[in-house]
Structure 1
Amino acid sequence: MESLFRLIVLTVVIVCASAYIPRFLRGRPKGGFLGAPALDHLNKEELVAVHNDLPDAQFFIQKLDHFDTQDTRTWKQRFFQSCATKSKVLFVMIGGEGTANPIWNVQGTWIEYAKNYGAVCLQLEHRYYGDSHPTLDTSLENIQYLSSEQALYDLATFIHAKKTEFGAEKVIIFGGSYPGSLAAWFRIKFPYLVDGAVSTSAPLLAQVNFKGYLEVVQNSLDTFKASGGSCNDAITAANVAIQNLLTTQAGRSQLKAMFRLCDDIDVNEKNDIANLFSTLAGNFEGVVQYNKDNRAFEGGAGTNITIDTVCGIMTNKALGDELHRYAQVNSLMLKTYSQNCTEFKYSKMIASLRDVAWSSEAAEGGRQWTYQTCTEFGWYQSSDSEAQPFKHTFPIDFWTQQCQDIFNIKFNSSFIARAVAHTNDGYGARNYTQDRVVFVNGDIDPWHYLGITKSLPQAQAILIPGTAHCANMYPAAEDDPAALVQARKTVGQLIAQWLQ
């Protein structure tokens, strides 16, 4: 009854609230985990050629529900095709929790591999993301058909049809981040359809309370060395200062001005406070997750902001005390992403994520990804660990409560725990037994914590020191570290073995 009353009150508040979705939500930046590859290494003529080569969208007819033989409804799933027009070898990039970008059909490491074998390159967009809309909207009734299991059957149906169409004898699949998980799971469920899988930055262990995320963030920030002191110590000091200022009206006014907050702080709104701390931590989480990779996410915004950048600010005593430095990092992010002020109101965020229309901001992927975390994966980056610099300011309850507030009161912590257990039981978590898979991770990337980083008897793992999320998938750059160069080479050698 208390949960129902809370939901009714929240609904009334949301009706009166404007809306926003955080720039970095549950580890997912806007656009999805895998950004577009950087093109700054190309000259003008090469850029023109790349854009002229972009393939047009095509559509493939899929079943809405692969698990109900009585349900005959279908929908159109978007895909892109490039490289060779005919081949006995198919390379398939698995789409994830964002819009499929045709730039990946002309750029990226997998394209270089494809050239060696004259492969046809196919990129399949994930159901419910981008322009692949199986239902009229993302209401709870309709979004129930969004799951990794349905996505795997989409992929199986698609690959089977394309193998027949091309008379293909060999298929290699590629995925980065959540699609990296799908690539590994596909080898479990449909080993007879593919000859190898490249699984990059893939979390294989579903986990409600992903405390290890911020532990890796702390370790990664510790790689920055400067005479100004510890980056993590400065972050902790700033968070302590914020906690102290929140206790008085004068302090809250000071925080609003320093961090350019869009709204006044109501200290009685505990979820607002947790959301504020989480938002400010997100300034560092996103930088660590994508540190020095070769992506061009959101038109290149933020790609030049690295651990060196934010920790350089946090350890520069000439900029003021730790609180002022923390605020300066936030101002840098606001400027970089062209935002006038820092949003943190919980009711605004929930209002956006409850919007079911395909035309809404939430349909970019925030609502869908939140649903998948509530019903399959968890992966909530809480502040519950002792080994992280952001204090205990956004605990696991803050994250699990959102599932109820966005979707339904039945989506409580017990429901999420059962869903996560079901996922691990179905896919085996890190107890992986299939062969012809390579797991590639970067040790800077927090997501490697849930992946396979040590080789198994039947599957090789590559942990690349000093690299971040999906780094090996992006086009090579002259300043790539030697370990990254070697990782790409090793993956290429494995693909050659699988295609023999």
Structure 2
Amino acid sequence: MGSVFRVLVLLAVLNVCVNAYIPRFLRGRPKGGFLGSPALDSHDKLSLSDVPGAQWFNQKLDHFDTEDTRTWKQRFFQSCAIKSKILFLMIGGEGTANPIWNIKGTWIDYAKKHGAVCLQLEHRYYGQSHPLLDTSLENIKYLSSEQALYDLATFITAKKLEFGAEKVIIFGGSYPGSLAAWFRIKFPHLVDGAVSTSAPLLAQVNFKGYLEVVQNSLDTFKSGNESCNDAITAANTAIQILLPTHAGRNQLKSMFRLCNDIDIHEKKDIANLFSTLAGNFEGVVQYNKDNRAFEGAKGTNITIDTVCGIMTNRSLGDELHRYAQVNNLMLKTYSEKCTDFKYGNMIDSLRDVSWTSEAAEGGRQWTYQTCTEFGWYQSSDSEAQPFKHTFPIDFWTQQCQDIFNIKFNSSFISRAVAHTNEGYGARNYTQDRIVFVNGGIDPWHYLGITKSLPQAPAIFIPGTAHCANMYPASKDDPPALVQARVQIGQLIDQWLK
């Protein structure tokens, strides 16, 4: 009986491992974090041997409790000049810090011009920067943007002293772009300039504008009289028509290669299915032609032209079949056997507190930050989007309770978001020596600063995606992107005078 029991336990564990999953694109965040890797291919003179090794900085666990003396090791990478009076710092975000950024990227070009030391500091709780033994609710409470800002302040202060540095410029893209802007507010005496790229500055529970920008971006695709957005809406309508019947659900399971049967009574599964299929388009729009690819990267060749080319191609069948074709393309691209949509499986994955879990790549941590600071839930509540009203705001806020604790209800999240806006000022920005850079296709520009302020310029780049200006230049870059990089460089020149 003992051996049989052990086998049953093993099978149960294996079943959990098989069923657990995290969508490849969740809350606007792809696995690995918002910022991808810069291009590094066989034609480069650089190689992986040029990538710097990890170094470790002794960091305080809680910057706001003077009686708590606990410390931990925070990872950073250093490159460019061996010694300099100028420090450039790239702020880490909601994913593993990639040392390839220390040898390539637009900020490296600026650093070489000024002979700067290049430092990249990994964000607490992401990558290998583990303050505590796991991400349980008791331990993850030290994860916040405010703690991260004080990490940066402590690190910069130490490095300025080490190098005798006289000037510091900070860089951040996406959430780190927000951190760059907030750092200039909290610690203007520590940095001489900040480049804030694709930074959402307005915390917002119901980020309805995300899908509105997705719709506008998909509208940039032109193919005769066909409309990509109309085809997507028609496909979602067809799914809604098929769901009530057993035959219809079987058809959907086959067409979209679903991992499980659809239970019409599981409303969260249904919302998660619609959200997952919408994610096929959200991710493509957010990173459309952004030059983040490196050798062997997946999905970077799939663009708005690709998915809309499928959705408007009548030879592939009706709109529902074309929608399924897009999903099948994604499954093939990411080597996935089937489309998982079970809400419970996703929640189980995000509840895992171990540093060895799938959620530890950042999915659990970023979800926690959205629940306790930012919101930024991309609901389908707007009328101006193509995915129907299939994953409303309640679907997103409920996840905070289901993953973490019942206290994380919608009222709690609203108070947390209000606290963030009160603390940082949202888009009411008053600091100088900062530039805000956003791309017109990127949905996150909706929450950023896209028009110049009296004291701070904004660069809005039509037709470009999330953090596009941070990646290495390409011969295919549009003129507006080329000019944006030049403008940023000129501002850095002024700040360093």
TM-score by length of 2: 0.96
| Displacement of 1:493 | 0.1
Contact kept? 1:210, 1:382, Cα under 8 Å: yes
The equivalent residue for 1:35 is 36
Aligned identity (percent) is: 85
| Displacement of 1:82 | 0.0
Contact kept? 1:91, 1:121, Cα under 8 Å: yes
The one-letter code of the counterpart of 1:63 is K
For structure 2, list consecutive stretches of 5 or more residues without a partner in the other structure: 1-14
Listed one character per residue, the Cα deviations across residues 50-87 of structure 1 (whole Å, up to 9, x for unaligned) are 31110000000000000000000000000000000100
Contact kept? 1:173, 1:194, Cα under 8 Å: yes
Counterparts of 2:226 and 2:387, CA distance in 1? 17
1:430-469 matched pairs, under 5 angstroms:
430-469=427-466
Listed one character per residue, the Cα deviations across residues 149-202 of structure 1 (whole Å, up to 9, x for unaligned) are 000000000000000000000000000000000000000000000000000000
Counterparts of 1:287 and 1:100, CA distance in 2? 22
- Is the counterpart of residue 293 in structure 1 residue 290 in structure 2? yes
Counterparts of 1:462 and 1:305, CA distance in 2? 26
Contact kept? 2:217, 2:285, Cα under 8 Å: yes
For structure 1, list consecutive stretches of 5 or more residues without a partner in the other structure: 1-13
- Is the counterpart of residue 190 in structure 1 residue 181 in structure 2? no
- Is the counterpart of residue 383 in structure 1 residue 384 in structure 2? no
- Is the counterpart of residue 211 in structure 1 residue 199 in structure 2? no
The one-letter code of the counterpart of 1:203 is P
| Displacement of 1:26 | 0.4
Counterparts of 2:124 and 2:486, CA distance in 1? 32
Listed one character per residue, the Cα deviations across residues 348-372 of structure 1 (whole Å, up to 9, x for unaligned) are 0000000000000000000000000
The equivalent residue for 1:160 is 157
Contact kept? 1:80, 1:102, Cα under 8 Å: yes
Contact kept? 1:17, 1:351, Cα under 8 Å: no
Contact kept? 1:35, 1:297, Cα under 8 Å: no
Counterparts of 2:393 and 2:68, CA distance in 1? 38
Counterparts of 1:267 and 1:190, CA distance in 2? 53
The one-letter code of the counterpart of 1:24 is F
- SS of the equivalent of 2:299 reads coil
Counterparts of 1:81 and 1:202, CA distance in 2? 24
Contact kept? 1:201, 1:442, Cα under 8 Å: yes
> Residues 186 and 370 of structure 1: is their aligned pair in 2 closer, same or farther, counting only changes over 3 Å?
same
Counterparts of 2:228 and 2:347, CA distance in 1? 32
Contact kept? 2:40, 2:294, Cα under 8 Å: no
- Is the counterpart of residue 328 in structure 1 residue 329 in structure 2? no
> Residues 375 and 328 of structure 1: is their aligned pair in 2 closer, same or farther, counting only changes over 3 Å?
same
The equivalent residue for 1:232 is 229
Counterparts of 2:225 and 2:138, CA distance in 1? 54
- SS of the equivalent of 2:77 reads strand
The one-letter code of the counterpart of 2:32 is G
The equivalent residue for 2:11 is none
The equivalent residue for 1:67 is 64
| Displacement of 1:297 | 6.9
| Displacement of 1:16 | 10
| Displacement of 1:227 | 1.8
Contact kept? 1:31, 1:297, Cα under 8 Å: no
- SS of the equivalent of 2:47 reads helix
| Displacement of 1:38 | 1.5
Contact kept? 2:218, 2:308, Cα under 8 Å: yes
- Is the counterpart of residue 395 in structure 1 residue 396 in structure 2? no
1:486-497 matched pairs, under 5 angstroms:
486-497=483-494
The equivalent residue for 1:145 is 142
Contact kept? 1:228, 1:317, Cα under 8 Å: no
Contact kept? 2:257, 2:338, Cα under 8 Å: yes
Contact kept? 1:17, 1:348, Cα under 8 Å: no
Counterparts of 1:225 and 1:116, CA distance in 2? 41
- SS of the equivalent of 2:19 reads coil
| Displacement of 1:43 | 1.2
TM-score by length of 1: 0.95
| Displacement of 1:299 | 4.1
The one-letter code of the counterpart of 1:154 is D
| Displacement of 1:15 | 7.2
| Displacement of 1:296 | 2.1
Contact kept? 2:39, 2:295, Cα under 8 Å: no
Counterparts of 2:466 and 2:26, CA distance in 1? 16
Counterparts of 1:39 and 1:56, CA distance in 2? 17
Counterparts of 1:90 and 1:435, CA distance in 2? 19
The equivalent residue for 1:176 is 173
Considering only aligned residues, what root-mean-square deviation do their CA atoms show, in Å?
1.2
The equivalent residue for 2:8 is none
- SS of the equivalent of 1:300 reads coil
1:283-362 matched pairs, under 5 angstroms:
283-296=280-293, 299-362=296-359
Contact kept? 2:232, 2:319, Cα under 8 Å: yes
Q: How many residues align?
A: 483
Counterparts of 2:303 and 2:345, CA distance in 1? 29
